[in-house]
Amino acid sequence: MSTRDSMNGLVSDYLRNLWARFPQGPHFRMPWQVCYATMNLIGGAYEQLPHARPVRRSAASAHRSRVRSYVEKYLTDPDLTPSTIAQGCQINVRYLHRLYAFEKETLAKYILRRPSR
């Protein structure tokens, strides 16, 4: 983040000052207001970033990673279906397909591309 931006500069100055006052990190007795203010300032600075992505994107990536791990583990199972994958990953089938709706490769293509062991 560029510190030329007024919000980023404010956060940068604040964090440097906080670090100078507490070089060993926050104390157990540090008031919750200080922690709350710090998190709000950092959050405000990140909101200003032009390419910030919503948290939901990260959750979807984590789900896709879990699906790939499940597929790798059960690739040789003849009963491997979207239903069993969804059940094994504790998501519903509709969400499973939606996870791959905007990806370069569908779930079915991913499974077919995998070499059987």
Instruction: Domains for the chain: give ranges and CATH numbers.
Output: 6-47 (no CATH), 55-113 (1.10.10)
**14 has a pLDDT exceeding 80:** yes
Q: Which has the closest alpha carbon to 17: 7, 28, 5, 9?
A: 9
**117 has a pLDDT exceeding 70:** no
**28 has a pLDDT exceeding 70:** no
Mean pLDDT computed over 89-99: 92
Q: Between 6 and 55, where is the model more confident?
A: 6
Confidence of residue 41 (pLDDT cuts 50, 70, 90): confident
pTM: 0.51
Mean pLDDT computed over 76-82: 93
Residue 89 has what pLDDT?
A: 93
How far lies 54's CA from each of 40, 50, 60, 91, 95, in Å?
Answer: 17, 12, 11, 20, 18
